[in-house]
Structure 1
Amino acid sequence: MVSYRKRGHVWQYEISYKDQFGKYKKLRKSGFEHKSEAILAASQIQIEYPNLSSAKSSEEPLVSYYKRWINVFKKNVVSKITFNKYQNTAQHIYEIFGDLKLKDLTKLRYQEGINQFAKTHAKRTVSCFHKQIRACLLEALDEKIIMADPTRKAVITGIERPKINKVLSYKNWSILIKNLNTNKIDEMIIFIAAVTGMRYGEVVGLTTKDFDFKSGYISVNKTWDYKYKTGFMKTKTKSSIRKIAIDEQTVFKLKEYLKLHEFKNNQPIFMNKKDHILVSAEINKSLTNKLESLNIPRITFHGLRHTHASILLYKGVSVLSVSRRLGHSNITTTQSTYLHIIRELQSQDQDKIISILDNAIK
């Protein structure tokens, strides 16, 4: 039911409807100079929103709808870390769009927001930001809260990060591990990663119980949430649970490190006296400074894992053994990650095969 009345010098329409719970609601809008304009606007609303509760919902701010959406569809489905990422997106939405209502989010306004976000973020991050918002708005589209998808054909850009080497050469890797002060927390973290290929979360999740110095191995059975500080977590995959063999020098350095630092029961050995564990940005900064001091090209901390695997492959260690050492779920993951190295080694193997055959035939 629609009614019209004049309020001062302008006209207002009022539409009565039942919400999803059967309760009567009213949708009002005023400010029309002529009654005919109010009638036209009311008709348009009824055409666009056959379910008038959706029209009311379109008044909700984007950030509010997004928060409700992640709490309903994501909170009990994804991991805590992934849900934190969705919450971070909510914060960015508010910073960019403020309290902008769903009905006022046009394609132009959305693209302006994406462009603003892209000024300070890499293209991959912008793409993730866009995908999360789009998934939410497609839900609003299905519910007919909005009549069109403002994210459709959005152009994704981002700042270009300077290119960084992925791996160190064997020579530079050797120089690095020989010049690390393994009594210091940050440099011991770098050392462990360089000689084991462990992931950062696995390294900083180590406790004194994870070392078997007599047999010479490190046990990887958990990780540490250094980003969101939720404590110990499960490993990335079941195959990430493994034992990594270490050499005598690594055993010696670890023993010396443990003697110099005091730990509480089941406390990570790389947690400082203020109960802080370095986040990825901090350890990457430490690694960069160390590499610069040694005049070695920069790599990321994760590059130490790639370096370790690459060196083992070049030195003739089988792909299967490298795969198990890295904790990959299957050998295919290792083969695809290090395909370029494997192809080089296969080329060398072909030369060896020909040489063997030549010698045999002579």
Structure 2
Amino acid sequence: MTLDELYEIFIEDKKIDIIQATVETIENRYVVISRYFGKSNISNINKIAIRKYQNYLLNECNYSVSHVNNLIGVLKQIFNFALENGYIKTNTIASVSMINKRVKIPKEKVIWNLEQFLKFNEYINNTTDKVIFNMLFFLGIRKGELLSLRWNEVSFAQKNIKIISTANREKGKGQVITPPKTVHSNRIVVMDKFLCELIEEYYIGQRKIYGKDIKQKFVIGGDKMMSFTSLQRLLKKYLAKTQLPEITLHGFRHSHATMLADFSTDIKAISERLGHENIEITLKTYIHTNSKAQFKLTKEIERNVQSHNKSKFIVLVDNIKELLRKEITENECTDIEMDQIVNLYNYVQKEVINI
């Protein structure tokens, strides 16, 4: 069997488990591999052949170390697949090491702590924008997961959101909605009290615009999903107003994971909250759990946010607000009744601010 023949079986199998964007990445990398090994019998591809290939890519093709390592990574995936499915008896390239010489010093990832994020949050003067960045920081969801989220995937009663899709860019199609990155990315993420209240208040405003049709609308964008470009532009706008280290959109996810690692040693809880395939990814990159563990994490978020807040909420007022929010978000009522409930909620909220 040639490598090209094995690859065709491998990539068809992969398409079941990974998103289209990842499939395209593998396909693009294999084009380079196929030029060298495509017609070779897989029994002739061994450690010595791979080391010669690495040298060829570096010195004759002038590829970067990272690109060469990515190509070898695809080859290793193919041979692991071949071993698992009985196409080979021994993985002859398993011991091939990645190149670690001539590596440029990577740019250090910027991670914000809670105090830095709250400082950033002070510069946001738009409710939608505040919801965007608070969800990224306090939920640790991927930017694509945020952009594809619809209101029917948000539960205020359970204080959680359901991740069942993500936004991706696809060649020739633009920005589309696809299944999440991996099977494990399908998950339920619990919200802390402060984030839940922020999103509920935002929901009230959105419901006035869309009425009962709101459930199928995008949380961010309404009728039309916000683009990755617009989201990036939004971050750049607010960063320009601050003196904080320049974080990326994915940096909010790293920051969330780091914050959780400070709160808890339950790596399994953190891993499943982030939607990682296994805890090794969590440990390597950042350092279904039961709901009790997730609630413990969100309670820690609440406690830390509370310590940065100057005012204290009265328990009675909290209960009244929660009752009103439940009426607004869950129960069916006429437009007149809804206006009266919203006015009552706004009155209570105003009184709390004056306390």
Counterpart residue number, 1:195: 138
| Cα pair distance change 1:161/1:130, threshold 3 Å | same
TM-score by length of 2: 0.52
Matched, 1:252 2:201: yes
Instruction: Quote the Cα distance in structure 1 between the aligned partners of 2:260 and 2:24.
Output: 40
Instruction: Quote the Cα distance in structure 1 between the aligned partners of 2:29 and 2:149.
Output: 34
Matched, 1:219 2:166: no
- Per-residue CA shift, 1:249-283, capped at 9, x if unaligned? 3432343356568988634333576x55534x774
Higher helix share: 2
| Cα pair distance change 1:162/1:221, threshold 3 Å | closer
| Cα pair distance change 1:158/1:311, threshold 3 Å | closer
Point out where structure 2 has 5 or more consecutive residues left out of the alignment.
171-175, 288-355
The one-letter code sitting in structure 1 at the alignment partner of 2:242 is L
Give the paired residue count.
261
Percent of residue pairs bearing the same amino acid type: 13
Check conservation: 1:170, 1:311, Cα contact below 8 A.
yes
Higher strand share: 1
Matched, 1:278 2:224: no
Instruction: Quote the Cα distance in structure 2 between the aligned partners of 1:200 and 1:222.
Output: 14
| Cα pair distance change 1:168/1:130, threshold 3 Å | same
Counterpart residue number, 2:147: 204
Matched, 1:176 2:120: yes
The one-letter code sitting in structure 2 at the alignment partner of 1:85 is T
Matched, 1:294 2:242: yes
The one-letter code sitting in structure 2 at the alignment partner of 1:177 is N
Instruction: Quote the Cα distance in structure 2 between the aligned partners of 1:101 and 1:126.
Output: 17
| Cα pair distance change 1:110/1:298, threshold 3 Å | same
- The alignment partner of 2:148 has SS state of coil
TM-score by length of 1: 0.52
Check conservation: 2:151, 2:214, Cα contact below 8 A.
no
Shift of 1:183: 4.8
Instruction: Quote the Cα distance in structure 1 between the aligned partners of 2:53 and 2:272.
Output: 45
Counterpart residue number, 1:303: 251
Instruction: Quote the Cα distance in structure 2 between the aligned partners of 1:161 and 1:303.
Output: 15
Instruction: Quote the Cα distance in structure 1 between the aligned partners of 2:134 and 2:37.
Output: 49
Within the candidate set 16, 25, 37, 1:88 is matched to: 25
Within 5 Å, give how 1:1-362 maps onto structure 2.
65-66=3-4, 68-77=5-14, 79-81=16-18, 84-94=21-31, 102=39, 108=52, 111-113=55-57, 116=61, 118-119=63-64, 123=66, 126-134=68-76, 136=78, 155=99, 160-165=105-110, 167-183=111-127, 188-213=131-156, 215=157, 217-228=159-170, 229-233=176-180, 236-237=183-184, 240-247=187-194, 248-256=197-205, 266-270=216-220, 275=224, 277-279=226-228, 283-284=231-232, 286-308=234-256, 310-311=258-259, 323=269, 327=273
The one-letter code sitting in structure 1 at the alignment partner of 2:118 is S
- Per-residue CA shift, 1:78-110, capped at 9, x if unaligned? 545367535433324436875886469976565
Check conservation: 1:202, 1:223, Cα contact below 8 A.
yes
Greater Rg over alpha carbons, structure: 1
Instruction: Quote the Cα distance in structure 1 between the aligned partners of 2:54 and 2:281.
Output: 40
Instruction: Quote the Cα distance in structure 1 between the aligned partners of 2:77 and 2:226.
Output: 34
- The alignment partner of 1:226 has SS state of strand
- Per-residue CA shift, 1:139-190, capped at 9, x if unaligned? 7xx999xxx98x967746655442122x2133321122222244556x6432
| Cα pair distance change 1:114/1:220, threshold 3 Å | farther
Check conservation: 1:224, 1:233, Cα contact below 8 A.
yes
Check conservation: 1:204, 1:224, Cα contact below 8 A.
yes
Counterpart residue number, 1:354: none
Larger CA deviation: 79-88 vs 293-302: 79-88
| Cα pair distance change 1:301/1:272, threshold 3 Å | same
| Cα pair distance change 1:212/1:161, threshold 3 Å | same
User: RCO (CA 8 Å, sep 6+): is it higher in 1 or 2?
Assistant: 2
- The alignment partner of 2:190 has SS state of strand
Shift of 1:207: 0.9
Shift of 1:297: 0.3
